[in-house]
Amino acid sequence: MKQMKHISIVVIILLAVAGTATVVVQQLSEQLVTEPEKVTVYLRDVSSIPILNTEIATVSASPKAADLEITAKAAYIADLDSGAVLFKKNESIQRAPASTTKLLTALVALETYSLDDVLTVTSEASTEGHVVGLYKGEKLLVKDLITAMLISSGNDAAYILANNYPQGYDGFIAQMNSLASDIGMQNSHFQNPAGFDDDKHYSSAYDLYILAREAIKNDLIKETVASASATIYNTDKTVSHALQTTNQLLLENPQVVGIKTGTTEKAGQVLISQYQTENAGDIVVVMMGSEDRFSDTSSLADWVYSRYQWKLFSTPQ
């Protein structure tokens, strides 16, 4: 009889279901700051995923979550495939998201334009904060504008995408909020495409996790946020723009494969990171209101991987 395999993730408890393959995330010692509910989520067929035989071992040197010293005012870490919560701190509190906003801007742009659509730089394009240095009248492909916005965090690129929206700039902002609501961002509202501070522009650590999870489903976004550098050109190839990532961890840690930074006076330092390791599941780490987002992220990611172990196993039907 043909075996059917599925994937499941369990926090603290281990469930074995006949005819399924299960991923187990087992807590190895003390509890989280706020213990998440026990979660079992069945995902896609995993017949092509190998079984991991690594045995779970207690890591006595691993500190309690309450003892971790991070500067972030809010944080959220979850397994990417299942959504199982691995760490949370003030995850529902509304805070300024800064340039992580651009992930949502990219999603709206991708549902609006074709990648080879040509947009013209207008005088309304923002020249504040991080900019690519696009000039008025320059014509660029939508794909290149998204690349500039996500790698170099170009505010000018974000505004070009919004200003050229068929229903105008206000229509673009309205669609950002509509899409945010559709994907489940219940504690978020957006007022501009770049992430500038505004009392009506806010999100939460949990909502940014939702946004990141949705964004990296798109191949272009996933590839772009994993890139440390790129060069884009205007449509007649007379002007080039060199792009460099704003994500320090992307340059320093091979486990980090994206996704977006953000910084404003009100937001402080914001960072969403995706970690990918050989013997564990992918995790998304969100930091908001940090004084040292890269250090905070590294510390918590190390803590998670020392406390949890992902294990695949299967039982015959």
Positions marked active-site: 99, 102, 153
* Alpha-carbon gap, residue 200 to 188, rounded angstroms: 9
Q: Report the DSSP beta bridge partners of residue 259.
A: 273
* Alpha-carbon gap, residue 229 to 148, rounded angstroms: 10
Count CA atoms closer than 13 A to 199's CA, side-chain side.
0
* Alpha-carbon gap, residue 11 to 84, rounded angstroms: 7
Strand 268-275 versus strand 256-264 pairing type = antiparallel
Residue 314: phi and psi, rounded to 5, are -140, 155
What one-character-per-residue DSSP string does 93-161 give? S-B--GGGHHHHHHHHHHHHS-TT-EEE--TTS--SSS-----TT-EEEHHHHHHHHHHS--HHHHHHH
Q: Between helices 101-112 and 155-163, what is the axis angle to 10°?
A: 40
Containing H/E element for 85?
Answer: strand 85-89
Calculate the CA dihedral of residues 293, 295, 298, 301 and round it to 10 degrees.
-60
Radius of gyration of the chain (CA): 21
3-state secondary structure of 259: strand
Containing H/E element for 225?
Answer: helix 219-225
Is the bond preceding residue 77 a cis peptide, omega within 30 degrees? no
User: What tokens does 293 get?
Assistant: 């987002």
